[in-house]
Amino acid sequence: GILDTAVVDRGRNVLSCSRDGTARLWDCGQSSCLGTVADCGSPVNGIAVGAADSSLNLGSPESPPSEREVGTEGKMLLLAREDKKLQGVGLQSRQPVFLFMGSDAFNCCTFLSSTYILAGTQDGNIYQLDVRNTNAPIQVIHRSGAPVLSLLPYRDGFIASQGDGTCFIVQQDLDYVLDLTEADCDPVYKVASWEKEIYTCCRDGTVRRYQLSDL
């Protein structure tokens, strides 16, 4: 089963991650697999791709990349793994960059910037890490013990949804938290945003739209 996908650059290439522990790069034009970026030996629940900080060593590819591979240079792939590990891999080089051990299975991950990343675990922790030094997290946000199911960068902060129906917006440095929904049993699986509107999808069969005033 494919558990998550990510679009590279303008979309000529896409990435997928699977229960078989692999993350693969695909060429949309020819519907072909360009290669396996990572093989973890553990299900990969979520992925994210983003530009990496220029100070980060992403490694060099062992063989020249295919001419069908577009926009992978300078990018890093995040892997949220079932075995409690968050991994960073150079997208073009396929070389490991970092490996961070969490408290439980990682469900989702995202880039806040080229240096800061977020990842959420099954036991309700949201880790903020600096990719230049992943020995210790910058902060760990824990609002409930329910699984963190999705994370989305938003303005100067992020939106998180959890398995107990909670969905909230955290502004920079935790100064301000806005609850869209409190715990109401049904999981909110995914959050999407468009300008000042936020959309959530829930296991109760409802897609909800929130209109936000200026935060």
- What are the pLDDT digits (tens) for 171-199? 876 667 889 988 888 999 999 999 899 99
Q: Which residues contact 107 (CB under 8 A, 6 or more apart)?
A: 45, 46, 80, 120, 121, 122, 147, 148, 149
Ordered by start, the domain boundaries in the chain are 2-142
pTM: 0.94
Q: Which residue type, as a one-letter code, is found at position 37?
A: V
Tens of pLDDT, residue by residue, the chain (215 residues): 999 999 999 999 999 999 999 999 999 999 999 999 999 999 999 999 999 999 999 999 999 999 999 999 999 999 999 999 999 999 999 999 999 999 999 999 999 999 999 999 999 999 999 999 999 999 999 999 999 999 999 988 999 999 999 999 998 766 678 899 888 889 999 999 998 999 999 999 999 999 988 65
Under CATH, what is the fold of the domain 2-142? Methylamine Dehydrogenase; Chain H (2.130.10)
Q: For the segment 68-79, what is each residue's pLDDT rounded down to a tens digit?
A: 999 999 999 999
Q: Whole-angstrom Cα distance, residue 173 to residue 192?
A: 22
What integer pLDDT is reported at residue 177 of this predicted model?
A: 86
Q: Quickly count: other Cβ atoms within 10 Å of residue 157's Cβ.
A: 22
Q: Is 155 exposed, middle or buried (0-12, 13-18, 19+ CB in 10 A)?
A: middle
What integer pLDDT is reported at residue 214 of this predicted model?
A: 63
Residue with tokens 């970026």: 37
